[in-house]
A and B are shown apart, each in its own frame.
Chain A
Amino acid sequence: MIKTDALIIGAGPTGLFTAHQLKLIGLDCQIVDNLDKIGGQCIELYPDKPIYDIPAIPECTGEDLTNNLINQLKPFEIKFHLSERVEEVKKENEKWIVKTSGGKIFLTPNVIIAGGVGSFEPRKFPVKDTEKFENISVFYSIKDKTIFKGRTVTIFGGGDSALDWAVELSKNSKVNLVHRRDDFRGAEATVEKVKQLEKEGKIHLFTKYQMIAIEGKDKLENIEIQSDDKEIKKIKTDYALGFFGLIMQLGPIANWGLNIDKKTIEVDTEKFETNQKGIYAVGDICSYPGKLKLILSGFHEGALAARACFKLARPNEKYRFEFTTSSKTIKNRLGVKSD
């Protein structure tokens, strides 16, 4: 069991700055995120898109912002638990026991949900019955490519993941690539490579087709695809791989007894505490009258939630407000010299 003063769920900009605020006031914290990297929506949805409304930063991309926030955390030791989703939050003796999908268990007086719009999960095939083959013959990510050797693999999608895997798997497998239109949004060089491999007969390309049915007993046997002109083709295949990007799902948060309305969690505006004592929500996932879904609002909310955490983490101490410009204690924490 990992003990910490505060557990932050979500490593997006709000979660990162909240960690900074906690460390600054002398609390320790750990961060869990379902993505395999730090940055949340900024890094997953718009790493290259410019942002113009971060105070004192006229322009930066989602990736720049993430890197700057990580840099700002450098003086502190913060443990990240990536590729793990928080599954369960339970109260025990005034503290919270938090369990992750990776089997980690945390004991903490404070849980700060900085979850954006939820955790990122792969988008799945819309076709019924694909679920029963999931992780047997149907995959949305690849952990072990050797299972496809010598088999027929049908890949769906038009982005880099679909194209990269089509190219890679065509070396040792029979590959079909199915996409809903003629244009691919993947890197130009990879698109060229796929077209080259199609000419060589190593990849079979089906454009303007989408999956409409899936068949098989214990494992996948056939899929049916339909064209824009309603022409149906049956393809014999051992595996179906879908690369349709990621979607945000609220997931297990919905089961923690919090007041949730339209995928957001109600909080007060003093501590950003939910209806459960010691559970806070900050950033895009929280709602209160006048809430603005801006990164700067998340920073403010995180700063206040961090102060509220102090009370529960250090019940016998009094929190004293200090400025980073003048406080010796804070400068020590930051590892910078005092004047």
Chain B
Amino acid sequence: MAKITYITHDQQTHTIDVQNGLTVMEGAIQNDIAGIDADCGGGMACATCHVYVNENWFDKIPTKEDGEEDMLDMAFEPKKNSRLSCQITVTDELDGLIVNLPSKQS
């Protein structure tokens, strides 16, 4: 279990306990956090679960696998700390993770 903080574009903060094994995307979807669409349902095929990982955390989470960077090319306003939240699996080590949501997903 890890506490994940999602900060929406309009600076609303949602801190949620997310079970280990779920993804950061699933944590948002299951708790109705607006701003993550996840159209493809976690298949790394759509880039609509794009988040900006807090800079203190970016190097601490598991690195991108092949294909994620390619999909991020299609994300809305990607930055250096962009990730697809469907590719970040929650573990105890991620307790306290903060992600910012983009102004929109498409």
Taking a contact as CB atoms under 8 Å apart, the answer to whether A248 and B46 are in contact is yes
A288 at the interface (CB under 8 A from B): no
Taking a contact as CB atoms under 8 Å apart, the answer to whether A45 and B69 are in contact is no
- Comparing B9-17, B19-27, B70-78, the segment that makes contact with chain A is B70-78
Partner of B73, one of A41, A49, A180, A247: A180
Chain A residues closer than 8 Å to B77, beta-carbon distance: 126, 210
- Comparing B37-45, B55-63, B84-92, the segment that makes contact with chain A is B37-45
Taking a contact as CB atoms under 8 Å apart, the answer to whether A45 and B73 are in contact is no
Taking a contact as CB atoms under 8 Å apart, the answer to whether B43 and A247 are in contact is no
Which residue of chain A is the closest to B40 with respect to CB atoms?
Answer: A45
Q: How far is A159 from B69 in the complex, measured between Cα atoms in Å? A: 12
A123 at the interface (CB under 8 A from B): yes
Q: How far is A181 from B40 in the complex, measured between Cα atoms in Å? A: 24
Tell me the count of chain B residues lying within 8 A, CB to CB, of chain A. Answer: 18
Chain A residues closer than 8 Å to B73, beta-carbon distance: 157-159, 179-181, 185, 244-245
B54 at the interface (CB under 8 A from A): no
Partner of B69, one of A49, A126, A183: A183
Taking a contact as CB atoms under 8 Å apart, the answer to whether B74 and A245 are in contact is yes
Q: How far is A266 from B106 in the complex, measured between Cα atoms in Å? A: 24
Q: How far is A293 from B41 in the complex, measured between Cα atoms in Å? A: 9
Main SS class of interface, B = loop
CB-CB under 8 A for A247 and B78, given A45-B40, A157-B73: no
Chain A residues closer than 8 Å to B41, beta-carbon distance: 293
CB-CB under 8 A for A181 and B69, given A126-B76, A228-B80, A247-B48: yes
The bracket for how many chain A residues form the interface is 20 to 34
CB-CB under 8 A for A123 and B74, given A247-B46, A248-B46, A249-B106: yes
| A109-130 contact mask (Cβ, 8 Å, vs B): 1 or 0 | 0000000011000010010000
Chain B residues closer than 8 Å to A126, beta-carbon distance: 76-77
Chain B residues closer than 8 Å to A123, beta-carbon distance: 74, 76, 106
Chain B residues closer than 8 Å to A157, beta-carbon distance: 73
Nearest CB on A from B51, distance (A): 16
The 8 closest A-B pairs by CB, nearest first: A185-B70, A247-B106, A45-B45, A245-B74, A117-B39, A126-B77, A244-B74, A158-B73
List residues of B whose CB falls within 8 A of some A CB.
37, 39-41, 43, 45-48, 69-70, 73-74, 76-78, 80, 106
- Other contacts beyond A159-B73, A181-B73, A247-B106: 7, CB < 8 A: A41-B40, A41-B45, A126-B77, A181-B69, A245-B73, A248-B39, A263-B39
- 26 A-B pairs in the complex with CB atoms less than 8 angstroms apart: A45-B40, A46-B45, A49-B43, A117-B39, A117-B40, A123-B74, A123-B76, A126-B76, A157-B73, A159-B70, A180-B73, A181-B69, A181-B73, A210-B77, A244-B73, A244-B74, A245-B47, A245-B73, A245-B74, A247-B39, A247-B46, A247-B48, A247-B74, A248-B39, A263-B37, A293-B41
